[in-house]
Structure formats: structure tokens, C-alpha cells
Amino acid sequence: MELVSDAQTLALYARDASPFEVRPSAVARVGDTAEVAECMTAGFPVTARAGGSSVAGQCLGSGLIVDTSDLGGVELDGDSVWAGAGVVLDSLNESLAASGVMIGPDVTSSQWACVGGLVGTNACGSRSLRFGRFGDALLEAEVVRADGSVSALSRSAPAWPELQAVLDGLGREVAAAWPAQHRGFGGYALDAFAARGDPLSLVPGSEGTLCVVTRARLAVVPRPASRVVSRAEFGSLRAALDVAPSCAAAGASAVEVLDSHLTGGAPVLLVEHLDDPDGPSRLPRGFSALSPEDGEAAWAMRREALKRLESRGTTAVALFEDPAVAPERAGAFGDDLLALLERHGFDAVVYGHAAAGCLHVRPLVRGDEPKLAARLLAALDEVAGLTAAYDGAITGEHGWGLARSHLVARAMGAELYERCVAVKRAWDPEGVLNPGRIVDGGYSPPCQPKCFEPRSQ
């Protein structure tokens, strides 16, 4: 283990891909599970981190940062693969390519996002319509608990008594309050826990607040044999979003929207079909199947979208990054959301997972705007209320983090929030792991958004 606390290193670990800055007390660069366990006795709050790709501030902390980047290793075993927490998703898929398989869930940040963080945020991406989330792919995990113990979790492992007590009546509460859509609440997957009852079901999306994942066994899927990307332009963002559900019904693996800020012209839907050459023929009128080269170029534009905005001198702030509603309501929600932001004086870029009802919405700001952080936080509060009015989730993909944990109780309601508190106490009674995320959240002066530097991620 390497323990460092020089000013340059602490400044580096004080930032991630979010608009926040939190200076840690020290950084531990660990090389194995035993060294992770040793960190639990350091007397500091512990926050795990690898790639630093969090856009909600999950991997920032004022205590001890445990850098798991060196926890490597990839072992393919039939229809699953064991991977260390520090393995980068692109590298993992490259190592699997020769065997004709891959990890199904994908993310735009795949070139630096690591397995531990992907599990911790229950990440997904453009192809969640087909492959789901990392929680769907997670079969087993080796984890370190807050007391330093190492546990092997699987879908068949039973809950311990304190955690089992959380299950009583949980199914009814989830059925009554959980958003009935593809992208539900982030954080503790109470819906999965109610259905399965095993501790592993709570790890995806837990943002490092319950345990530190050191290795994970993930299901693999066959690599697609063919891929067709189709494209259509629309007269408005609303028109594009209204068409997206029918594209999903046509068997699309992904349906992505890009607004006029990103295209430089009309809003666009990009629709992907995997292993389905006839898929484009089932799409609504107006779509054109692209050549393989043009399809790759269109998808690259989607992946690199925000860099185009930064080149114009504006910052697209990730604060209310990923609200999600039922896909058939996304068009009306998008109209209301943009009107809300306009009332607060913000223009915003909208893109993302149209057929999943999960929109990436980022205000476009400049660092010299007066009272910028206060205005953004006021807008966030109203966005949370608007999302609730649409029976949606304020975060459908990227989690609560520093950005939104203060809204969990309001979003979930008192009963489900108290279940989340009970889950946290059952795993981490002393609150050692990543405090202030999901439960007991709120802003403090070191955690106010630092929205002034363009982010390359």
C-alpha cells in the first residue's frame, strides 16, 4: 500500500467528472483486498475510487480516498468473467473480444470507467433497452465491509438478521412508490432486494456506502454479428421524443436523441439495431439506415457530444444530469423542464436515452455568471419537484452522489427513505463508508458546486 498526502496529490483526488471539489485528508493506493481491509481501520471515513468518472460526486470525500485502480485481473469462465475493481470497461471488453463475448451494459465513459464504479453506480448506457444495467449482469462479488471483514456475495447468499429485518413489508412499499418505468430510483435497489432478498442485490447503485467491491463476476453476452444505425431529423425536440417509444417497439437496441445544440441543426434520433438487419424497415417513416462508416461517425458524434460544446467556451453542468420518466411522457416532460430552466435564466443541452425516458439535461453556463451555484441549486430543487409530478426519478442513471443525496427522502417518501437508512445501518453502523451519499445527505460549504472549469469528461 502507498499512503500519500502531498498537496499535489490531494488536489488531483479532490475532483472527478462532477462540478464538485472536496479535498481528501489522504489517499491510499491499494494493491489487493487485504490492503483495502486495512484501510477500514485508519480512523477516517473511507471513499473508494478508481477511474474518477462520476458525474454526481460519488468518489469524492474529505477522509481517506482508497484508490482501487490497481485491483486488476480478468478471468473468463464460460458465460461469465471475474474482473478486478480497477479494470477499465474498454480494456475488459478488449480482453474478451477474442472469445466472441462482451459485457452487455455500456457507458459513454467506458475508456476510463472501472468495474468497481460501474457496479457502485449500477451503470448503464445507450443499450440498456437490450442489456439492462450492471446490476443485471452482476452474479457475484468480493467485497470489504466497514469492519474490515471480507465477504463473498452471491445471488444465493442469505441476508444476515439485521438486513433480513428490512425485508418485512418492503415489497408492498416498493410496489406503491417505486417509479413504474425502465429507469427507477438510483441508490439502494430496494426493488431488487424485495424480489430477491440477497445482500448482493443491494450493492449495485450503493455508491460505495455499504461496502468496497474488490472483484466482481459479471455475465457476458455474445458480441453482435451485425449493427445498423438509422437516423432521422425532427422539427423539434418534442417531436423526436414522442417518436422514440415506437422505435423501441421496433426492436431497437438503442434510441438516442441529440438536440439542436449538438447537431448544429435539427434535433436527431439515432436508432441502433443489433443482429437485426431488417430492423430499420420497422421504424416510423423518416428514418434512413446509414452505411457502416456513416453509422460509426454518427455514434462517435453522440459519444463526443459535450466536447463540441466545450470548444465554444461554455460548460455543460452535470447537476440535474439524468431525470427519467416513462418514455411516452418524455416529450411533455422535456418541454416543461426546458421552460423551468428558462425561468431560471438557463439555456440547456438535452441528449441521451430517449426510448428509456432518461434525458441528460445540462445547463450551459459561463464561469463569470453571478450567483451561479445558488441559481443552479434553486433550479435543481424545482427539477426534483417536476420529476416527481411526472412520477419519475430525479436520477435514472448516474446516482445521487453529492449532487442529489439531499433529495432522496423527498423523492422516495418517508417509508422508503427509512428503509434506505436501515439498509445503511445494517451494513455500516458507524457510517464509515462514503458518508453523506444516499442517506444523511446534504450540502456543506466544501461541497458547493465548482461550475467554472470546462470538464473534458
CA torsion, ordered 191, 197, 203, 204, to nearest 10 deg: -40
pLDDT given for residue 449 in this prediction: 59
pLDDT given for residue 443 in this prediction: 57
pLDDT given for residue 442 in this prediction: 64
Provide, rounded to the nearest whole percent, the portion of the chain with pLDDT above 70.
96
2-69 and 74-222 share one fold = no
pTM: 0.94
pLDDT given for residue 455 in this prediction: 36
Domain formed by 2-69, architecture: 2-Layer Sandwich (3.30)
**393 in Cβ contact with 179 (< 8 Å):** yes
β 46-49/101-102 pair status? unpaired
Please tell us whether the domain made up of 74-222 is placed in CATH 3.30.465.10: yes
**251 in Cβ contact with 282 (< 8 Å):** yes
Neighbours of 326 (CB within 10 A): 17
More confident residue, 304 or 223: 223
Q: Is the pLDDT at 367 greater than 80, yes or no?
A: no
Per-residue pLDDT of 44-75, as tens digits, reads 999 999 999 999 999 999 999 999 999 999 99
Q: Is the pLDDT at 446 greater than 80, yes or no?
A: no
d(CA 228, CA 270): 10
Confidence of residue 452 (pLDDT cuts 50, 70, 90): very low
Any idea where the domains of the chain sit in the sequence? 2-69, 74-222, 227-389
SS3 302: helix
Strand (E) or helix (H) holding 120: helix 115-120
pLDDT given for residue 448 in this prediction: 57
Per-residue pLDDT of 142-190, as tens digits, reads 999 999 999 999 999 999 999 999 999 999 999 999 998 889 898 999 9
d(CA 73, CA 242): 44
What cell numbers appear for 384 in the block?
426534483
Across 383-407, average pLDDT: 94
Adjacency order of strands within the sheet including 46-49: 2-4, 26-29, 64-67, 46-49
Confidence of residue 444 (pLDDT cuts 50, 70, 90): low
Across 103-114, average pLDDT: 94
Per-residue pLDDT of 207-217, as tens digits, reads 999 999 999 99
SS3 153: strand
Confidence of residue 453 (pLDDT cuts 50, 70, 90): very low
- The interaxial angle of helices 414-427 and 170-177, nearest 10 deg, is 130
Confidence of residue 373 (pLDDT cuts 50, 70, 90): confident
Q: What is the mean pLDDT of the chain?
A: 93
pLDDT given for residue 371 in this prediction: 84
Q: Is the pLDDT at 451 greater than 70, yes or no?
A: no
DSSP 291: P
Per-residue pLDDT of 260-314, as tens digits, reads 999 999 999 999 999 999 999 999 999 999 999 999 999 988 888 777 776 667 7
β 358-365/315-316 pair status? antiparallel
Q: Is the pLDDT at 454 greater than 50, yes or no?
A: no
Backbone torsions φ then ψ of 87, nearest 5 degrees? -75, 125
Across 444-456, average pLDDT: 46
Angle formed at CA 264 by CA 263 and CA 266, multiple of 5 degrees: 70
Q: Is the pLDDT at 339 greater than 80, yes or no?
A: yes
Strand (E) or helix (H) holding 213: strand 212-219
CA 110 to chain CA mean position, Å? 12
CATH number of 227-389: 3.40.462.10
d(CA 265, CA 348): 15
Nearest to 419 by CA among 167, 247, 238, 215: 167
Q: Which residue has the cell 483486498?
A: 33
**350 in Cβ contact with 361 (< 8 Å):** yes
Across 316-329, average pLDDT: 93
